[in-house]
Every structure is written in C-alpha cells, then in structure tokens.
C-alpha cells in the first residue's frame, strides 16, 4: 500500500502528459510526432504551427484546467456536504452561470460578454445560496444542500424558460453552451493562478478534510476550526466551479465521478484524493476533447457528452472490481 501511494501521483502525471501528447498529434489534419515538435518550437508560419499551437494546444490546456477544476471542486463539495452524490453543480453555481450566459447569447453579446455574464451569474448564485443557508447562523450540511438544490432547480426552470422564448437563431449556440464546449484561446494567467491557488489551499487543508469526513464534531474536538474550514471549502469549490463553467460551459459528470474514481484507485485519504482528482479530471477532459473532435469528424460533439460516455463505463468498471471479495 505505501509503495502504491508513493507512485500514484507521478504515474497520473505521466498519464496526463501522454494524453496531452496524443491530443496534439491526433486529429483531422494529419500531423506526425516530428511535426508536432516542430509546430511547438519552429516558425509560426507553417500549417503545423497553426494546427498545433493555434487549435490543439489551447484546447488541451483548457481541457486540463476545466477538468482539474471541476474534479477538485467535486472532491471538496463531497466532503463539505458529507454526501458522495454531491458534485460541483449541486449548489446551483452552474445554474446561475447558465442563466447569465444564455441571457448574454440572447442579447447577441460577443464571447467575452457571454463569459463575463456567466461569471456574474455563478458568483451571484454562490453568494445567494451562502446567505440563505447561513440564515440564523447555523449552516448544517443538510440545510446547505437543501438550499443549493432548490436554488439549482430554480435556475433550471429559468434556463428552460429562456430556451423556450429565445429565437431559433440562438438556440444551437445556447444548447452547445449548456452541454459544455472548449474554446481555442489559451487561458489567461488568471485561471491558471486560480487553479493553482485552489489546489494549494485544498492540499493545505487535506488532512483536516480527512477529519471532517469522520464527523464535524470529531474534527472540532481534534483542533480543526470547522466553521472556517467549511467556509474555505465552500468558496474554493464555488470559485473553481465558476471559473470552469465560465470557460467551458456546464460540462457534466467530471466533478461527480472523478473523485470517486480516485478513491477507488487509492483510497479516501484526501492528501491523495485532491491532487489525484486534479490529474485524473484533467486527463479525462483532454481525452474527451480529443474524442469529441475526432470520432465523428468533421462534425464535432459537445465535450460534455463525451465525458459521460467515457466516465460512466470507467466508473462502473472500477466499482465492480472494488466490490469483488478481498484477496
């Protein structure tokens, strides 16, 4: 077991690199490994540079960021809500983002405007749920979960309403946004910084997460400031989710299932689950993005559909395997 733990993260990191390399090399336009290398380092005029640096690399980087953010947010949310079924969207962050984004699309705003509106919607939802759940001062996991779920349902109704009344011309764009789609612009340092910050905070509190998972009172009795810890969890998960959703729409499934995949691989110690989720989530989304643009080429599928197609069987396989009797 200890050996397995020591190699776990390096192996996952290797997996991410392999996934990224495949993503750069494979696609409708044939590019061999040498050309990938040339595209990365050589002149900007060549076609290979355009394909590798202009399209595939940004999408792979975005995929890694979004997948990592959602998976870490999911792992944190499951501890915060003490519920294995929790995911980053359960408290309505993606609902708020969707409503913001759809409104912006209806108004014909440019892509930057849509992202901005989604960010506003997500953060608005985050603060409204927090204030309502906080109420008279208690915010038990149950109360937080109920508030968030109801809020998410409310946002869902608004999304349906917007889809129903929007003109035909905008519908396809809106649906693609809702299913999750990756852009071809390299992410700013801001997002990379957010992910790094989120990961840093999560790893710093990871041992406290193990305690919180054994009970809030017990964690408090062992010296954890549970009020502060839960605030940190809520806002770290919320901001990571908001950032991911703003960048790529509401890509489903990653945040729910990746933390469980990691737990099934290496156990429930959050010092491994948090960084492991980042790497597995990133790798899963890189591969999903690759599949999304190649499997029905030249047509492209929304990435969110592919994450489910890849994630569901993987998860079920691991679950079956772990349910087998111990040797």
Partner 1 sequence: MTELSVHDLRVEIGDVVVCRDLCATFKPGQVWTILGPNGVGKSTLLKTLAGLYQPIVGRVAVAGQSLVEMPRRERARQIGILFQDHADVFPLTVTETVLTGRHPWCSPLQGESSVDLERVDQVLDEVGLDGLQDRSLFSLSGGERRRVDLAALAVQDSAVVLLDEPSNHLDPRHQVTLLGGMIGKWRRARRAVIMVLHDINLAVRFSDYLLFLYGDGEASHGLVTEMATEPHFSRLYDQPMGRYQAHDRDLFFPL
Tell me whether residue 241 is exposed, middle or buried, using C-beta atoms within 10 angstroms of its C-beta: 0 to 12, 13 to 18, 19 or more. buried
- By CB under 8 A, tell whether 215 contacts partner 1: yes
Least separation in angstroms between residue 206's CB and partner 1 is 10
Q: What's 110-133 look like in SS3?
A: CHHHHHHHHHHHHHHHHHHHHHHH
- By CB under 8 A, tell whether 210 contacts partner 1: yes
Dihedral sign for Cα 37, 42, 43, 44, please: positive
Least separation in angstroms between residue 219's CB and partner 1 is 8
- By CB under 8 A, tell whether 7 contacts partner 1: no
Q: For residue 116, give every residue at least 6 positions away whose Cβ sits within 8 Å of its Cβ, in sequence order, or none.
A: 104
Q: Does residue 241 contact residue 94 with C-beta atoms inside 8 Å? A: yes
The stretch near partner 1 (CB under 8 A) out of 34-42, 66-74, 180-188, 203-211 is 203-211
Least separation in angstroms between residue 221's CB and partner 1 is 5
- By CB under 8 A, tell whether 318 contacts partner 1: no
Given the complex with partner 1, which of 79 and 240 has the nearer CB atom? 79
Within its chain, how far is the Cα of 201 from the centroid?
A: 17
Which CA distances in Å does 269 have to 74, 208, 218, 272?
Answer: 15, 10, 17, 6
Least separation in angstroms between residue 79's CB and partner 1 is 8
- By CB under 8 A, tell whether 217 contacts partner 1: yes
CA distance 143 to 212: 17
- By CB under 8 A, tell whether 183 contacts partner 1: no
Given the complex with partner 1, which of 17 and 218 has the nearer CB atom? 218
- By CB under 8 A, tell whether 207 contacts partner 1: yes
Which CA distances in Å does 169 have to 106, 107, 143, 175, 177?
Answer: 9, 12, 41, 11, 14
Q: Which of 1, 110, 165, 324 binds partner 1 (CB under 8 A)?
A: 1
Of residues 230-269, which lie at the interface with partner 1 (CB under 8 A)? 263, 267-269
Of residues 73-102, which lie at the interface with partner 1 (CB under 8 A)? 78-79, 82-84
Least separation in angstroms between residue 148's CB and partner 1 is 17
Q: Which of 21, 220, 305, 308 binds partner 1 (CB under 8 A)?
A: 220
Which CA distances in Å does 50 have to 58, 64, 126, 294?
Answer: 11, 20, 39, 18
Least separation in angstroms between residue 171's CB and partner 1 is 41
3-state percent helix, strand, coil for the chain, nearest multiple of 5: 80, 0, 20
- By CB under 8 A, tell whether 223 contacts partner 1: yes
What are the residues binding partner 1 (CB under 8 A)?
A: 1, 78-79, 82-84, 204, 207-208, 210-211, 213-215, 217-218, 220-225, 263, 267-269, 271, 326
């Amino acid at each position: 077991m200890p050996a397995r733990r020591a190699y776990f993260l390096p192996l996952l990191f290797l997996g991410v690199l392999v996934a990224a390399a495949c993503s750069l090399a494979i696609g409708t336009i044939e590019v061999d490994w040498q050309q990938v290398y040339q595209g990365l380092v050589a002149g900007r005029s060549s076609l290979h540079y355009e394909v590798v640096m202009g399209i595939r690399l940004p999408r792979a980087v975005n995929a890694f960021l979004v997948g990592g953010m959602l998976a870490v947010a999911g792992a944190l949310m499951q501890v915060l809500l003490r519920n294995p079924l929790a995911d980053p969207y359960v408290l309505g962050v993606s609902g708020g983002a969707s409503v913001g984004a759809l409104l912006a699309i209806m108004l014909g705003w440019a892509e930057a405007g849509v992202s901005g509106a989604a960010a506003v919607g997500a953060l608005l939802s985050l603060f409204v749920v927090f204030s309502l759940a906080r109420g008279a001062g208690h915010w038990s996991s149950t109360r937080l979960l109920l508030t968030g779920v109801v809020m998410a349902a409310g946002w869902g109704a608004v999304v349906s309403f917007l889809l129903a009344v929007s003109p035909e011309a905008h519908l396809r764009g809106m649906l693609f946004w809702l299913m999750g789609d990756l852009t071809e612009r390299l992410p700013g340092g801001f997002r990379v910084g957010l992910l790094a910050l989120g990961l840093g905070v999560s790893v710093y509190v990871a041992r406290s997460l193990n305690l919180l998972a054994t009970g809030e009172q017990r964690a408090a009795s062992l010296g954890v400031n549970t009020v502060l810890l839960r605030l940190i969890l809520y806002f770290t998960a919320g901001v990571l989710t908001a950032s991911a959703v703003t960048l790529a729409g509401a890509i489903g499934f990653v945040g729910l299932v990746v933390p469980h995949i990691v737990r099934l691989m290496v156990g429930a110690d959050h010092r491994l689950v948090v960084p492991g989720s980042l790497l597995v989530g990133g790798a899963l989304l890189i591969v999903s993005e690759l599949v999304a643009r190649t499997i029905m080429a030249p047509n492209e599928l929304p990435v969110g559909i592919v994450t489910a197609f890849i994630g569901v069987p993987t998860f079920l396989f691991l679950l079956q395997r772990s349910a087998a009797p111990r040797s």
